[in-house]
Amino acid sequence: MKQDKIILTGDRPTGRLHIGHYVGSLRRRVELQNSGLFDKIFIFEADGQALTDNIENPEKVRQNVIEVALDYLACGIDPTKSTIFIQSQIPELCELTFYFMDLVTVSRLQRNPTVKTEIQMRNFETSIPVGFFTYPISQAADITAFKATTVPVGEDQEPMLEQAREIVRRFNYIYGETLVEPNILLPENAACLRLPGTDGKAKMSKSLGNCIYLSDSADEVEKKVKSMYTDPNHIKVSDPGCIEGNTVFTYLDAFSRQEHFERYWPEYANLDELKAHYQRGGLGDMKVKKFLAAIMQEELTPIRERRKEFEKDIASVCEILRKGCEVARETAAQTLSEVRKAMKIDYFADSSFVDEQVKRFQNKEV
């Protein structure tokens, strides 16, 4: 039987999505959705995972479930082509996590580099919640319950995918071919792998205040671009400038296309020429920032406008999520029935368990 090509990916609903999410994964999801190359596409909000480090903040997660859904729809995730759903509404995911827990050791989890850095970042030290520690297992359940073949995510999710693949291999080895090994799909462009914050810091994060959100107004985008970190030694226009670690150029790597030069800055044929001039000296930061701002507005304006339209009808957005949860649940339930059968815990799915046990006790010497 030909294997279906299935995409699954998602985000924690802990805040509105920003352009790091966009170039890292969201833009790609929309392209893949519209490519027609996939049989099924699942995009979900990992609210259960968000709660693993927001235990005392359920209201934040609740509000952001709608914010993130709006960001999805605004970017072009189309509910007639993709199923959008919420993790906590699929109890089968908890069940699968519970079975997977037997297939992973504590030391294997401790070695997961993403979990390691996250634990440090959150100052959990010795009081790590068990749910947080084990979220890679639950993430493996998210992926495998839908038999996903392709998971488009950022680089930081690589250890999660590796863990999921190991779990699938171990499950199938013990219980027979049941689950599908997922493949990670990373952004092709290095600048998109990890878009820095507007302050040049390695990661865009809400707590650092260095994000450009998909829902930011045109004015906010303009202001944020104009105050972006560049080369601190590029003081006079005539000074030679450095493009490495220069956020404006990293963003141009992530966002600019040939046509943008024709449209906004025909003095340069392409990004390489622009970079060369900056490096030689004689090109001021403000000019480059103006160009970047024009490109960003071109990309973000349609997203912002679509978001405004969806915001006018929140009840419909909720209905999209509700329906998505229903569809997702059916798919996960189907996988779980296969999992229970493989694990020999499908006692009452048909009469075979009863028949077999009756026979076993009939043949017993009394």
Which CB atom, from 119 or from 242, has the smaller least distance to ligand TRP? Answer: 119
Residue of 7, 11, 28, 285 interacting with ligand TRP (CB under 6 A): 11
R_g of the chain, CA atoms, integer Å: 24
321 binds ligand TRP, rule: CB under 6 A: no
Residue 148 CA, chain-centre distance (Å), reads 14
**Closest separation in Å from C-beta 124 to ligand TRP:** 16
Tell me, residue by residue from 39 to 68, as one string, x for binding to ligand TRP by CB under 6 A and - for no binding: -------x--x-------------------
Interface stretch with ligand TRP, choices 5-13, 30-38, 235-243, 274-282 (CB under 6 A): 5-13
**Closest separation in Å from C-beta 46 to ligand TRP:** 4
The beta strand positions in the chain, using DSSP E, are 6-11, 40-45, 83-86, 150-152, 183-185
**Closest separation in Å from C-beta 86 to ligand TRP:** 12
CA dihedral in degrees (160, 163, 165, 166; nearest 10)?
180
**Closest separation in Å from C-beta 339 to ligand TRP:** 17
- Helix and strand numbers (H, E) in the chain are 18, 5
Interface stretch with ligand TRP, choices 135-143, 170-178, 264-272, 322-330 (CB under 6 A): 135-143
- State the burial class of residue 228 (Cβ atoms within 10 Å of its Cβ: 0-12, 13-18, 19+): buried
Q: Which of residues 140-169 bind ligand TRP (CB under 6 A)?
A: 142-143, 151, 153, 157
Distance, in Å, from the CA atom of 254 to the CA atom of 107, rounded to the nearest integer, reads 37
**Closest separation in Å from C-beta 297 to ligand TRP:** 27
10 binds ligand TRP, rule: CB under 6 A: yes
> Can you read off the two tokens belonging to residue 60?
């934040």
**Closest separation in Å from C-beta 257 to ligand TRP:** 26
Distance, in Å, from the CA atom of 47 to the CA atom of 70, rounded to the nearest integer, reads 15
195 binds ligand TRP, rule: CB under 6 A: no
Question: What are φ and ψ of residue 364, in 5° steps?
Answer: -75, 135
Residue of 9, 52, 89, 250 interacting with ligand TRP (CB under 6 A): 9
Distance, in Å, from the CA atom of 80 to the CA atom of 83, rounded to the nearest integer, reads 8
Interface stretch with ligand TRP, choices 6-14, 287-295, 312-320, 355-363 (CB under 6 A): 6-14
Residue of 82, 112, 139, 256 interacting with ligand TRP (CB under 6 A): 139
Distance, in Å, from the CA atom of 44 to the CA atom of 321, rounded to the nearest integer, reads 9
Residue of 6, 7, 12, 187 interacting with ligand TRP (CB under 6 A): 12
Which CB atom, from 83 or from 246, has the smaller least distance to ligand TRP? Answer: 83
Question: Which residue lies nearest ligand TRP, judged by its C-beta?
Answer: 46
Indicate the pairing of strand 40-45 with strand 150-152. unpaired
Binding residue count for ligand TRP, defined by CB under 6 A: 13
Q: Output 89-92 pairs: Cβ under 8 A, ≥24 positions apart.
A: 89/325, 89/328, 89/329, 90/145, 90/325, 90/328, 90/329, 90/332, 92/145, 92/329, 92/332, 92/333, 92/335, 92/336
88 binds ligand TRP, rule: CB under 6 A: no
Can you give the binding site for ligand TRP, defined by CB under 6 A?
8-12, 46, 49, 139, 142-143, 151, 153, 157
